[in-house]
Amino acid sequence: MIAVFIIGGILVVGAIIAGMVLLHRKKQEPVAPNPPEQTPAESPKPAPKPRTQKPEPKKVRPTLKDRPAPTDIFLIHLDAVLERNLSNPNLTVEQLTNEMTMGRTVFFIKLKNLTGMSPVEYIRETRIKKAAEMLEKEDLTIMEITYKVGMSDSRYFAKCFKNTYGVTPTEYRQQAKKQK
């Protein structure tokens, strides 16, 4: 058994020595001199290709102007999520961030930078805007609209509406009917 290890070790050492000898020989081999340089008169020049066709126009790649901006995509997605959950009075920022597949902090920062509003403010503003559309187009009572936009307290709804539009929901509806 010991003899096998010794023989194996000798073979390994022999292989290492053989490799070193080969490397040493390669270093000593003379390097072939560079081929003589041809003068311009001696070197054959390729004949120019005749132009029979017009060059193909470069393919135009879509630019960033052609695509919606990531901020637009974010807000479009957010508005779609809010539209689906608008009638839910218990909608929380946590539920919103889960549907947007974002962390709460990242979501807050991104929304604040884009709109200047916190998520709670943005939800409230979206509900109030939707209520204003409903007041103009539908003949529902103020209380029905309040519930449809996900607000359960009509006094709070009227207060938020007045803060946004400067008039109560009833006055807003009357003004909208006069304009028609």
43-91 tens-digit pLDDT: 566 666 666 666 565 554 544 455 556 668 889 999 999 999 999 999 9
pLDDT tens by residue, 7-27: 545 545 555 555 555 555 555
Over range 17-46, report the average pLDDT.
56
From residue 109, how far is each of 30, 82, 103, 113, 119 by CA, in Å?
69, 18, 10, 6, 9
pLDDT tier at 169, thresholds 50, 70, 90:
very high
CA angle at 51 for the pair 47 and 53, rounded to the nearest 5° = 150
* Size of the chain, expressed as the number of residues it contains: 180
pLDDT tier at 179, thresholds 50, 70, 90:
confident
Predicted model pTM: 0.60
Q: 144 or 48, which is more confident?
A: 144
Per-residue pLDDT at 101: 92
Query: Does 20 fall in a domain?
Result: no
Per-residue pLDDT at 73: 87
Query: Does 132 fall in a domain?
Result: yes
Whether the predicted pLDDT of 42 surpasses 80: no
**What three-state secondary structure class fits 37?**
coil
Burial category of 151 from C-beta neighbours within 10 Å (exposed 0-12, middle 13-18, buried 19 and up): buried
pLDDT tier at 162, thresholds 50, 70, 90:
very high
Query: Does 119 fall in a domain?
Result: yes
Query: Does 58 fall in a domain?
Result: no
Domain containing 113 equals: 70-179
Whether the predicted pLDDT of 32 surpasses 60: no
Query: Does 80 fall in a domain?
Result: yes
- Residue with token string 């400067």: 166
Query: Does 126 fall in a domain?
Result: yes
CA angle at 71 for the pair 68 and 75, rounded to the nearest 5° = 100
Query: Does 27 fall in a domain?
Result: no
Query: Does 55 fall in a domain?
Result: no
What value does the mean pLDDT of the chain take?
77
Number of domains in the chain: 1
CATH of the domain at 100: 1.10.10.60
